Amino acid sequence: MTPYEPSSDSWEGPIFGDYYDKGDDYSHWRPDGMQDWLIAYTLSGEGYIRTPGGEVICGAGQVALLRAGAPHEYGTVRGKRWEFLWIHYPGLPENSYLTGAEVYIGTLPEGAVRERVESAFRRVLQDSLNRTELWMPLCENAIREVILLLAQRKDKQFDPRIEHTLQVLSRSMKEEIRVDDIARQIGLSVSRLSHLFKEQTGYSILEHVNRMRIRQAALLISHRGRNASEAAEEVGFNNYNHFAAQFRKVYGVSPRAYRGGRVE
């Protein structure tokens, strides 16, 4: 493969992307998410992606797929560099093979599969820049190739009903969560949904919702200047003491200590 050069052009449109090689001062924060999907392939180093559902790390040979609409922050892991290719694109039906949560991380084996994925990214970047005839379907086909290669290697796939549940919870994170309403929408009894959700995610439904809310509150505190009380209210906690207790479970410090950047 020939070396990459960052593009000097401004790439805009329904599909666009670039090559980045960033130090650990790099980060990007979208509190309201975005309308399109983001797919990134790490060539070397490590990057992080944080959403209300948690934080994931994307290292060399891994592809990250970030769902449209998910509030998020991403950047280079502290003390590292992050060399990666990225593409923004409209949703494709093949996305459903990989994700029901905000982020999917797929690991590729060394050798032919990584080369094939890297080649697909390169083709999208080139075609989206040149804008020759039929560039859009060519780009879409290359992105589909990456997604299908990842789907072939997916070790574990959530039950479709749990994927649906995760989508419902992500959309209604700030609202009052009633498990019986969700179970009725999914088409399962409350007990069956609760058991299946805990079995596949490791958390109860309410535990999962609390963790999403807490991580969203942490993003609001660290990047939007909210104080602890404001963040608690924005993510749907009516009781501050409950919020603070849940926050400490996730981060090990109080919300105010987290805002001050110190550990109590």
pLDDT tens-digit series, residues 144-155 = 999 999 988 775
CATH number of the domain enclosing 177: 1.10.10.60
Report helix, strand or coil for 156.
Answer: coil
For 91, the domain range is: 16-152
Nearest to 228 by CA among 238, 242, 211, 240: 240
Residues 20 and 148 in one domain: yes
User: Which residue type does 56 have?
Assistant: V
Residues 103, 208 within the same domain: no
Which H helix or E strand runs over 1? none
Confidence of residue 6 (pLDDT cuts 50, 70, 90): very low
Q: Give domain status of residue 174, yes or no.
A: yes
Report d(CA 53, CA 63) in Å as an integer: 18
At 29, the pLDDT band (50, 70, 90 cuts) reads very high
Secondary structure of residue 9 in the 3-state scheme: coil
Please check whether residues 178 and 134 belong to one and the same domain: no
Instruction: Flag whether the pTM goes above 0.75.
Output: no
Long-range CB contacts for residues 92-97, cutoff 8 Å, separation at least 24:
92/37, 92/140, 92/143, 92/144, 92/147, 94/144, 94/147, 94/148, 94/151, 95/37, 95/65, 95/67, 95/147, 97/147, 97/148, 97/150, 97/151, 97/154
Amino acid 3: pLDDT: 43
Q: What is the C-alpha separation between 148 and 146, in angstroms, rounded?
A: 6
The verdict on 21 and 146 lying in the same domain is yes
Do residue 108 and residue 190 come from a single domain? no
- Beta bridge pairs of residue 63: 41, 106
Q: Are residues 147 and 166 in the same domain?
A: no
Say if 116 falls within a structural domain: yes
For 219-233, what is the mean pLDDT? 83
Of 124, 152, 180, the one marking the end of a domain is 152
Closest CA to 175 of 234, 114, 93: 234
Report the CATH number that the domain containing residue 67 is assigned in CATH.
2.60.120.280
Check pLDDT > 60 for residue 80: yes
Residue 254 located in a structural domain: yes
The verdict on residue 236 lying in a domain is: yes
Q: pLDDT-based confidence at 1, cuts 50/70/90? A: very low
Q: Are residues 50 and 115 in the same domain?
A: yes
Where is the domain boundary, 118, 152, 186? 152
Residue 86 inside a domain? The answer is: yes
Residue 7 predicted with pLDDT over 50: no
Residues 167 and 132 in one domain: no
Q: Place 41 in a pLDDT band, splitting at 50, 70 and 90.
A: very high
Q: Are residues 135 and 164 in the same domain?
A: no
- Mean pLDDT score across all residues of the chain: 85
Q: Is residue 58 part of a domain?
A: yes
At residue 47, does pLDDT exceed 50? yes
- Say whether both 22 and 146 belong to one domain: yes
> Which one, of 106, 131, 132, 144, lies nearest residue 16 by Cα?
131
Q: In total, how many domains does the chain have?
A: 2
Residues 121 and 186 both lie in one domain: no
Which of 22-36, 88-102, 201-215 reaches the highest mean pLDDT?
A: 22-36
Q: How many CB atoms lie within 10 A of CB 152?
A: 10
User: End of a domain among 152, 182, 200?
Assistant: 152
> Does position 219 have pLDDT exceeding 80, yes or no?
no
In this structure, the answer to whether residues 237 and 255 fall within a common structural domain is yes
CA–CA separation, 82 and 77 (whole Å):
8
Tens of pLDDT, residues 108-135: 877 788 889 999 999 999 999 889 889 9
Q: Which of 16-25, 33-42, 71-80, 195-204 has the lowest mean pLDDT?
A: 195-204
